[in-house]
Amino acid sequence: MNYLKLKSTFENYLFILPAVVIFAIFYIIPFIWVFQLSVFEWDGISPLKTAIGLANFKEVITGDPIWWQSMLNAGYITIIALTFQNAVAFFLALACDREIRFKNWFRVIFFIPPVLSEVVVGLVWQWILDGNFGLLNGWLTKIGLAHLAKYWLSDPATALNTVAIIHCWKGFGWGFLIFLAGLQGIPRELYEAARVDGANAFYCFKNITIPLMIPVIVLVGILTILGTMQAFVLIMAMTGGGPAYHTQVPVLRIYASMQGASRFGYACAQSLIFGVILITISFIQYRFSGKQSR
């Protein structure tokens, strides 16, 4: 009997074994190594690793203006995504929550940009925004606004904003779908009751829709911040971080420290500092959302 029980427990472990092995090798070990490597100066190839204590961290914090510039850039894109992108997503969801025609068509179309890869989106928009032969400048010239035509992605004055807008274009569909699901979860009776009491549309929006949507808005906010701060493939495809670091973002810097400068320890230190910042932000947001829903 005891033998059978042991065999059964063993069998239970066999079910999770493949998942645990893959996860341990490709998630847990790299996770631990990031901490270990961060205290070394190492080029990634040579057998010699020099332990230098916390010097890497010190250098990231005090001696790396480009790193903090990249953090500011990512923060800037995030703020645009939080306000502009999520506002558009919210109003689209409001519009689609009403009784309108072709509702499903709109819903299907709005989620096309999110299912495309960042490389495809980046390269297509790079072609449209091309300074010499791009469609956008072609149109501007045609309608007599040639003075507005720009090298959108290689002019330092416009590069970051352009990248931010394309990032919003790619991402608003997520927020839209989550907002729409939230709106559809609001009981219709609330609106009907308010109508009977003589409330107008704006009053309903302000006193029913907004309060009930706060948890969803916070959720989309957290997802937007975490997603946008870590976004980089789209930028890699559109500008590669240029012109002259104007569209650099933290993950690109980590990759550059590793591949370009061959400083693996330094790259790990950067990524740990970045990880701590991200966890702090989402923790603050989480606390905030906890208060709101109570």
Partner 1 sequence: MKSAAYYTAKKITFNTFVYLFLISVALSCIFPLLWMLSSSLKTQETIFQDMSLIPRELHFENYMRAWTEGGFGRCFLNSIFYTTSVVFGIVIVSSLAAYAFSRFKFPGKNLIFYIFMGAMMIPIPGSFVALYVLLNKLHLRDTPVGYILCMINVGLSTSIFLLKTFFDKLPHELEDAARIDGCSKWGIWRHVALPLARPVLAVVIVFNTLNVWNEYFLALLIFDSPRLMPLQLGLMKLQGEFVTQYPLLMSGLTITALPIVLLYLLMQKYIVKGVTQGAVVG
Smallest gap from Cβ 1 to partner 1, in A, equals: 17
Is 41 strand, coil or helix? strand
Q: Pick between residue 141 and residue 157 the one whose CB is nearest to partner 1.
A: 141
Smallest gap from Cβ 181 to partner 1, in A, equals: 4
Burial of 160 (C-beta count, 10 Å sphere; 0-12/13-18/19+): buried
Q: How far apart are CA 234 and CA 231, in angstroms?
A: 7
Smallest gap from Cβ 11 to partner 1, in A, equals: 6
Among 52, 55, 128, 212, binds partner 1 (CB under 8 A): 128
87 binds partner 1 (CB under 8 A): no
> Binders of partner 1: how many residues, by CB under 8 A?
88
Q: How far apart are CA 233 and CA 277, in angstroms?
A: 20
Using an 8 Å Cβ cutoff, are 121 and 162 in contact?
no
Smallest gap from Cβ 174 to partner 1, in A, equals: 7
47 binds partner 1 (CB under 8 A): no
Q: Pick between residue 160 and residue 218 the one whose CB is nearest to partner 1.
A: 218
* 136-175 binders of partner 1 (CB under 8 A): 138-139, 142, 169, 174
Phi, psi of 53 (to 5 degrees): 65, -135
DSSP per-residue string spanning 49-66: -EE-TTHHHHHHHHS-HH
Token pair belonging to 91: 């109003």
* 53-72 binders of partner 1 (CB under 8 A): none
Q: Which stretch binds partner 1 (CB under 8 A): 58-66, 128-136, 145-153, 190-198?
A: 128-136
Rounded to the nearest 10 degrees, what angle do helices 86-97 and 210-229 cross at? 140
Among 1, 53, 133, 198, binds partner 1 (CB under 8 A): 133
* 241-270 binders of partner 1 (CB under 8 A): 250-251, 254-255, 258, 264, 267-268, 270
204 binds partner 1 (CB under 8 A): no
23 binds partner 1 (CB under 8 A): yes
Smallest gap from Cβ 270 to partner 1, in A, equals: 6
Type of residue found at 257: S
Q: Pick between residue 194 and residue 227 the one whose CB is nearest to partner 1.
A: 227
Among 39, 81, 96, 183, binds partner 1 (CB under 8 A): 96
To the nearest 10°, report the CA torsion of 16, 18, 22, 27: 0
Among 34, 140, 194, 199, binds partner 1 (CB under 8 A): 34
Q: How far apart are CA 122 and CA 137, in angstroms?
A: 17
Hey, how many other C-beta atoms are within 10 angstroms of the C-beta on 176? 25
Q: Pick between residue 157 and residue 275 the one whose CB is nearest to partner 1.
A: 275
Q: How far apart are CA 158 and CA 135, in angstroms?
A: 17
Among 217, 226, 242, 245, binds partner 1 (CB under 8 A): 226
Token pair belonging to 213: 């949507």
Q: For tokens 């689209």, what's the residue?
A: 92
